[in-house]
Amino acid sequence: MARFTLPLCAIVFAIVSTLSANAIAQPALTTETLADNIYLLRAPEALDFWTATNSVVIVNDQDVVVFDSFTRPGTARLAIAAIRKLTTKPVRTLINSHWHQDHWRGNDEFVTAYPGIQIVTTVETRDYMRRMQSGFLINGTRA
């Protein structure tokens, strides 16, 4: 049994090291300050898979306004975490600029994180989102 312990430990160590290295190497959301209380959150193409996306965050006196919610729910969750690092104020308004999915697929995450949030968009974009629903994306990717 002792002769299996060392190789087994080496295998476990190699797997854990690889997983740790992969976790560190993941692309990250970046935050840029555009002006006082106005921020740009950027998701590189490697994070959102097929497109580089961004969102603008405006911190007001009482609340926060967000323009667009990213392509993937996972990226939207990173954005919510970044916003919570910037301020404790709630996001009360989410504006979807247009119908492309990289501007609204993260909406559900914002609704979950900020109950009562108001989502603002055009009638045409709203109708499109209702038809497509948030779960739709290439190859069914939702992460």
* Helix ranges restricted to H, the chain: 2-25, 45-48, 73-86, 107-113, 123-132
Q: Which two tokens stand for residue 38?
A: 């106005």
Tokens of 67: 């323009």
Q: For 49-107, what is each residue's pLDDT tens digit? A: 556 678 899 999 999 999 988 777 888 899 999 999 999 999 999 888 866 666 667 78
Instruction: Convert the pLDDT of each residue in 7-59 to its tens digit.
Output: 554 455 555 444 444 444 566 788 999 999 999 998 876 665 556 678 899 99
What distances in angstroms separate CA 49 from CA 18, 45, 90, 94, 106, one per listed residue?
Answer: 21, 5, 28, 23, 14
Q: Say if CB 71 and CB 48 are below 8 A apart.
A: yes
Compute the distance between CA of residue 34 and CA of residue 104 in angstroms, rounded to an integer: 22
CA neighbor of 90 nearest in space, from 56, 69, 70, 62: 62
To the nearest whole percent, how much of the chain has pLDDT over 70?
60
What's at 28, amino acid-wise? A
